[in-house]
Amino acid sequence: MTQALNGYVQVGAGPRKVLAMNGWFGSADDWHALVPMLDTDSFTYVFFDYRGYGRSRERDGAFTFEEAAHDVLALADHLGWERFSLIGHSMGGVAIQRVLLAAPARIERMAGVCAVPACGSRMDDARLAGFRAAVEDVERRAAIIAFSTGNRLVPRFSAHLARESQRLSRADAFASFLPQWAANDFSAQVEGNTTPVRLFVGEHDPTITADLMKRTWLAWYPNATLEMLANAGHYPMHETPAALATSLENWLKEA
């Protein structure tokens, strides 16, 4: 019996294998603006959709990061990838760390793009309730996106991402992932891990800041480094795709 696989987008046919995991408001399509700039001779990229998202929207499940890690490894097996690198945006930072914990010997490098650390976002009850309201309220989604990009971009930007988020994710999956990245702490399981990590932070991101990265990711991963992305907030793949693609590949090619 053939194992069911999550939906994904594959780009390139190079020897270096990279799998990217999106954030709470995203999907595999989040990375689309980077595609024309990627070195497809050196890399093979896979942009992964969680169950309940994008090309996996109709795939049922528990909607946990442990389940997502299992799905990533099943896909890697299907593709014949023994070792590969990971990119995670926002809540995808939690997701890639769960893949690392599930199969540490298979992960070459990890890149976190405005990535939530293993301690979660440490939301209090009031803030968590505000994010829960976004499950059914597209305007609330847009307001969160606007805030996370420094309230400096045209309103149509946030409105568009919010509508796409609602279209490309199921409400039950969207709701289930929230407490796992917002309030769950598994930092003790990653502390001291020697996997090379690169963290990319947007200069206008009000919550995923350089200071937070120093107190979390850089404190727990001894081979972690940090890069600030100019003129970006929480969504550099949309805000500054050329700069992000350049920085990502420069770092990935150091392997």
Whether 252 has a pLDDT exceeding 60, the answer reads yes
Residue 205 is which amino acid?
Answer: D
Rounded Cα distance, 171 and 197, in Å: 32
Whether 255 has a pLDDT exceeding 80, the answer reads no
Cα dihedral: 35, 42, 67, 171 (round 10)? 0
Whether 42 has a pLDDT exceeding 60, the answer reads yes
Rounded Cα distance, 105 and 88, in Å: 18
| H or E segment to which residue 178 belongs | helix 171-182
Question: What CATH number is associated with residue 85?
Answer: 3.40.50.1820
219 is a domain residue: yes
Whether 149 has a pLDDT exceeding 60, the answer reads yes
Whether 1 has a pLDDT exceeding 70, the answer reads no
2 is a domain residue: no
Query: Which range of residues forms the domain containing residue 101?
Result: 8-252
Alpha-carbon dihedral sign for residues 97, 227, 221, 210:
negative
30 is a domain residue: yes
Q: Tell me: the pLDDT tens digits for 49-81? A: 999 999 999 999 999 999 999 999 999 999 999
86 is a domain residue: yes
Residue 139 is which amino acid?
Answer: E
Whether 23 has a pLDDT exceeding 60, the answer reads yes
19 is a domain residue: yes
244 is a domain residue: yes
Mean per-residue pLDDT, 19-48: 98
Number of separate domains in the chain: 1
pLDDT, position 124:
87
pLDDT, position 2:
57
Alpha-carbon dihedral sign for residues 237, 243, 246, 250:
negative
Q: Are 38 and 45 in contact (CB under 8 A)?
A: yes
Angle at Cα 127 formed by Cα 66 and Cα 228, nearest 5°?
70
Mean per-residue pLDDT, 110-136: 94
Please indicate whether residue 125 or residue 236 has the higher confidence score (pLDDT): 236
Q: How many CB atoms lie within 10 A of CB 15?
A: 9
Rounded Cα distance, 238 and 31, in Å: 8
1 is a domain residue: no
DSSP reduced 3-state for 17: strand
Percent of the chain with pLDDT over 70: 99
Q: What is the mean pLDDT of the chain?
A: 97
127 is a domain residue: yes
